[in-house]
């Protein structure tokens, strides 16, 4: 029996199909046998598996957890089937192996002879990594060349599965040649969609409602179609007899974007599909469901619908659009016209049809639109022409900004306390005083508390270091008053909207009052050679004069 070592297992398969077919289980079984033969015990918490992730990218969920565990000195040895299961790029392989050695973690590849940590072993691992990378590139090159040739000769099999309205017939079932067949039922639904747009000018949402009313399910069995699916059908050239191969290509995912709701934090695919030019695509003849002239008429009609939608969204129709909220339920107050002369702002929380249980969540009443707009605009003009209100607010803030030495010391002590607690917990786990489950249960809470305390300390230090130069503010306020006083009386709709959006955070409609929440930062002005003074958009706190 060998000495005590904390061992782990790492396995990976590239495609989602391999993940669904459980091919990763064979890797895990072989590695588990090797671990038992070496006389070690593997716990389930140290099993790291990436199912359906490419080896050409380092960002993988299980690999990230494995690297964190190694960096925390929680593992002594990691078993992997072969170097190409770890990575498929030699540069990444060198990076990871160097990182693991830095934290005294040994890596064991099952397909490598046991020759120890020597120059020969390192050379063999590097050669295997280079060969794995070369093999991957050659496989991808052969696949691209074969698919392009098949597309250039008009073979439908290269397109894969058929879209809605067709059935895909495999090479075996089709007598040696794969092809598409028109589905009698689905093709009729496709014709209806095109005719609804061509003859009745239906939008995507209207088609969605019509399909639901007729009880037509999508291919995946959904009773309510997605508008993107309907648009994909109406823009697919295959329905008039010409499908195209290579309409998209894979490009690296742009960094910095947050994942969509419901998606994992680490994307399964490191690349995303982008549209290609028509010159890069290969046309393939397929059975037609509609006429080409109908397809082009529908395309023109959809462009007109989209243009009208853009014109509708081009600008605000009402002066306070997007600024008014309900002070009772927090819902938006939307403008609504009755006839040609009556304008009201009303809370959407009072609409029963917007709620799941068909019950209104707010009883706040509507307010006359013209009176509200005039009230807000006159209040804004008073603020701009009387800078003493801004001056008094900034003076009050400066008076309150005394150096909070006691609070700062308390914050620093809290940060030190939580850092010490984390260090002690790591020491306890390292010395095997607590098990892994207890460690993971407590470390997350401690790190969260430490992060909150550090954020509060940084914010407090920033407030202490920030100071207001009242002389600069005085000059800026005087300049602002001179600039805007002559323009307020003749301001048009666009200028009013710009000033309202610039200075007002929100307008709260309450049962007995209207409250205007202004945007006023600690440093509201910056000097500029071009225009003298500019009121900043990005603001941190507000004053609340009653209306």
On whether residue 62 sits in a domain, the answer given is yes
Domain identity same for 194 and 93: no
Domain identity same for 189 and 128: no
pLDDT of 208 > 80? The answer is yes
pLDDT of 526 > 50? The answer is no
Cα separation, 233 vs 225, whole angstroms: 12
Instruction: Extract the tokens encoding 393.
Output: 């607010």
Domain containing residue 390: 318-401+470-547
Domain identity same for 338 and 429: no
* CA pseudo-torsion sign 306, 307, 309, 314: positive
On whether residue 36 sits in a domain, the answer given is yes
On whether residue 299 sits in a domain, the answer given is yes
Domain identity same for 223 and 106: no
Domain identity same for 433 and 492: no
On whether residue 157 sits in a domain, the answer given is no
**What CATH number should be reported for the domain holding residue 102?**
3.40.50.1390
On whether residue 68 sits in a domain, the answer given is yes
From first CA to last CA, the distance across the chain in angstroms is: 81
Domain's final residue, options 465, 485, 505: 465
Banded model confidence at residue 194, pLDDT cuts 50, 70, 90: very high
**What CATH number should be reported for the domain holding residue 188?**
3.90.1750.20
Domain identity same for 200 and 301: yes
- What's the pTM? 0.44
Instruction: Extract the tokens encoding 225.
Output: 């179609």
Domain identity same for 210 and 271: yes
Across 37-51, 311-325, 397-411, 525-539, least confident range? 525-539
3-state SS, residue 182: strand
On whether residue 161 sits in a domain, the answer given is no
Tens of pLDDT along 321-331? 878 888 888 78
Structurally, how many domains does the chain consist of? Answer: 4
Q: Compare 292 and 482 and report the one with higher pLDDT.
A: 292
Q: Compare 53 and 520 and report the one with higher pLDDT.
A: 53
Domain identity same for 273 and 174: yes
pLDDT of 532 > 50? The answer is no
How many other CB atoms are found less than 10 A from the CB of residue 127? 12
Query: pLDDT at position 478, please?
Result: 67
pLDDT of 362 > 50? The answer is yes
In this structure, which long-range contacts are made by residues 177-185, counting pairs with CB atoms below 8 Å and at least 24 apart in sequence? 180/156, 180/286, 180/287, 181/287, 182/287, 182/289
Domain identity same for 170 and 50: no
Tens of pLDDT along 225-275? 999 999 999 999 999 999 988 888 877 777 655 566 556 666 666 677 888
When pLDDT is averaged across residues 15-21 and rounded to a whole number, the result is: 60
Cα separation, 60 vs 88, whole angstroms: 13
Domain's final residue, options 413, 436, 465: 465
Query: pLDDT at position 397, please?
Result: 61
Banded model confidence at residue 546, pLDDT cuts 50, 70, 90: very low
Query: pLDDT at position 533, please?
Result: 32
Q: In percent, how much of the chain has pLDDT > 90?
A: 12
Q: Compare 485 and 459 and report the one with higher pLDDT.
A: 485
On whether residue 78 sits in a domain, the answer given is yes
Tens of pLDDT along 398-429? 665 554 566 677 778 888 888 888 888 888 88
When pLDDT is averaged across residues 515-530 and rounded to a whole number, the result is: 53
Is 3 in contact with 72 (CB distance < 8 Å)?
Answer: no
pLDDT of 33 > 70? The answer is yes
Domain identity same for 289 and 374: no
Cα separation, 509 vs 516, whole angstroms: 9
Query: pLDDT at position 255, please?
Result: 61
On whether residue 155 sits in a domain, the answer given is no
pLDDT of 148 > 50? The answer is yes
Domain identity same for 36 and 121: yes
pLDDT mean across residues, the chain: 78
Cα separation, 264 vs 80, whole angstroms: 25
Query: pLDDT at position 164, please?
Result: 93
When pLDDT is averaged across residues 367-396 and rounded to a whole number, the result is: 80
Q: What are phi and psi of 123, to 5 degrees?
A: -65, -40
Tens of pLDDT along 55-101? 878 888 889 889 888 888 889 899 998 888 888 887 788 888 888 88
pLDDT of 458 > 90? The answer is no
Instruction: Extract the tokens encoding 404.
Output: 């909070």
Domain identity same for 243 and 358: no
Banded model confidence at residue 295, pLDDT cuts 50, 70, 90: very high
């Amino acid at each position: 029996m060998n000495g005590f070592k904390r061992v782990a297992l790492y396995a990976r398969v590239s495609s989602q199909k391999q993940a669904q077919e459980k091919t990763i289980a064979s890797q895990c079984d072989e590695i588990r046998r090797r671990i038992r033969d070496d006389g070690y015990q593997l716990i389930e918490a140290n099993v790291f598996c990436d199912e359906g992730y490419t080896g050409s990218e380092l960002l993988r969920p299980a690999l990230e957890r494995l690297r964190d565990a190694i960096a925390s000195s929680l593992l002594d040895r990691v078993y992997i089937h072969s170097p190409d299961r770890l990575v498929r790029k030699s540069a990444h392989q060198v990076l990871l192996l160097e990182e693991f050695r830095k934290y005294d973690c040994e890596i064991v590849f099952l397909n490598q002879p046991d020759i120890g940590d020597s120059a020969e072993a390192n050379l063999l691992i590097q050669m295997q990594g280079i060969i794995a990378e070369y093999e991957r590139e050659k496989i991808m090159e052969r696949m691209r060349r074969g698919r392009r040739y098949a597309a250039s000769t008009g073979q439908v099999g290269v397109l894969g599965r058929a879209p809605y309205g067709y059935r895909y017939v495999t090479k075996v079932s089709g007598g040696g040649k794969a092809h598409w067949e028109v589905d009698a039922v689905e093709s009729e639904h496709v014709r209806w969609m095109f005719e609804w747009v061509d003859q009745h000018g239906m939008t995507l949402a209207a088609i969605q409602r019509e399909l639901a009313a007729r009880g037509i399910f999508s291919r995946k069995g959904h009773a309510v179609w997605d508008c993107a699916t309907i648009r994909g059908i109406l823009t697919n050239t295959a329905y008039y007899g010409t499908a195209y191969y290579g309409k998209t290509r894979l490009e690296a995912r742009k960094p910095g974007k947050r994942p969509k709701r419901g998606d994992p934090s680490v994307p399964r695919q490191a690349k995303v599909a982008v549209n290609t030019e028509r010159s890069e695509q290969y046309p393939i003849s397929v059975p037609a469901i509609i006429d080409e002239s109908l397809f082009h008429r529908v395309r023109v009609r959809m462009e007109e619908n989209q243009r009208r939608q853009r014109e509708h969204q081009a600008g605000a129709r009402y002066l306070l659009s997007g600024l008014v909220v309900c002070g009772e339920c927090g819902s938006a107050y939307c403008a609504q016209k009755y006839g040609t002369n009556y304008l009201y702002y009303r809370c959407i929380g009072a609409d029963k049809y917007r709620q799941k249980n068909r019950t209104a969540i707010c009883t706040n009443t509507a307010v006359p639109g013209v009176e509200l707009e005039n009230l807000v605009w006159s209040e804004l003009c008073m603020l701009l022409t009387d800078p003493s209100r801004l001056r008094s607010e900034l003076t009050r803030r400066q008076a309150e900004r005394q150096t909070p030495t006691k609070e700062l010391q308390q914050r620093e002590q809290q940060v030190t306390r939580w850092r010490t607690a984390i260090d002690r917990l790591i020491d306890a786990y390292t010395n095997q005083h607590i098990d892994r489950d207890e460690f993971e249960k407590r470390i997350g809470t401690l790190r969260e508390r430490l992060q909150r305390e550090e954020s509060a300390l940084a914010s407090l230090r920033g407030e202490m270091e920030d100071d207001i130069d009242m002389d600069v503010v005085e000059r800026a306020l005087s300049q602002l008053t001179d600039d805007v006083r002559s323009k307020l009386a003749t301001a048009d709709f666009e200028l009013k909207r710009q000033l309202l959006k610039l200075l007002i955070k929100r307008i709260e409609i309450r049962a007995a009052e209207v409250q205007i929440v202004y945007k006023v930062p600690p440093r509201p002005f910056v000097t500029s050679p071009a225009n003298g003074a500019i009121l900043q958009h990005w603001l941190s706190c507000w004053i609340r004069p009653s209306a």
